[in-house]
């Protein structure tokens, strides 16, 4: 950092002196040639030293950033492996949900009255009922997670699909119906 400051100071000095050419020419004419030669050599030496130091610092920074990046990538891979392992545990530990005929019948009614407005057409990016690929990630998280998301609302979907009069059981029935139609 100190060398960078020196380099900046030298650059500013050179700019200032070139902007004041008339004055500097007068001074140059008055200064003995030996003093001018020594000053030029000193400036050239300082610039060379600053360039060398800057190059060394930049190389050091490059090496350190490369090491940091490798470390960050290794940590990210570890985290991803752990997440995949956890997802595998969750996925293998669950069994497909089964729903009673009564639950599915109630769910179909609630779906048709409330949910179909968006989920039948894909309005505002809603997943369409029956689209296995679109629903797979949600289904993978499980029924309870889906029910909670609908009760609280998520993204563009308001709480309880915009029908605040629905009971939690009715929401669960509708989610069960969608779940069944989309897996």
Within 8 A by CB and 6+ apart from 103, the residues are 172, 173, 176, 177
Rounded mean pLDDT, 47-70: 84
The per-residue pLDDT for 93 is 47
92 pLDDT above the threshold of 70: no
- Kindly tell me if the per-residue pLDDT of 17 is higher than 80: no
- For 139-163, the pLDDT digits (tens) are 888 888 888 988 998 888 899 989 9
The three-state secondary structure class of 20 is coil
DSSP secondary structure letter of residue 99: -
Is the pLDDT at 134 greater than 90, yes or no? no
3-state secondary structure of 94: coil
The pLDDT value recorded for residue 2 is: 67
* Residue keyed to tokens 């990630």: 137
Stretch 99-120: mean pLDDT: 91
Q: Is the pLDDT of residue 61 over 90?
A: no
The pLDDT of residue 164 is above 90: yes
- pLDDT one-digit tens code per residue, 19-31: 555 554 554 456 6
pTM: 0.48
> Average pLDDT, whole number, for the chain?
80
Note the pLDDT of residue 165: 94
d(CA 8, CA 100): 78
Q: Of 5-9, 83-87, 91-95, which range is least confident?
A: 91-95
> Would the pLDDT of 48 be above 80?
yes
């Amino acid at each position: 950092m100190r060398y960078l400051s020196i380099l900046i100071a030298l650059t500013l000095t050179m700019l200032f002196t070139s902007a004041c050419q008339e004055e500097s020419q007068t001074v140059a004419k008055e200064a003995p040639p030996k003093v001018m030669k020594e000053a030029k050599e000193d400036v050239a030496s300082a610039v060379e030293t600053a360039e060398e130091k800057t190059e060394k610092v930049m190389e050091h920074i490059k090496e350190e950033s490369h090491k940091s990046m490798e470390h960050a990538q290794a940590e990210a891979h570890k985290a991803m492996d752990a997440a995949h392992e956890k997802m595998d545990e969750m996925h293998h530990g669950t069994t497909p949900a089964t729903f009673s005929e009564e639950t599915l019948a109630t769910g179909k009614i609630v779906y048709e009255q409330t949910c179909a407005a968006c989920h039948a057409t894909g309005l505002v990016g809603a997943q369409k009922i029956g689209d296995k690929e679109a629903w797979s990630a949600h289904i993978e998280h499980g029924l309870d997670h889906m029910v909670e998301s609908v009760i609280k609302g998520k993204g563009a979907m308001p709480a309880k699909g915009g029908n605040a009069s629905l009971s939690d059981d009715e929401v669960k029935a509708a989610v069960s119906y969608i779940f069944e139609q989309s897996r």
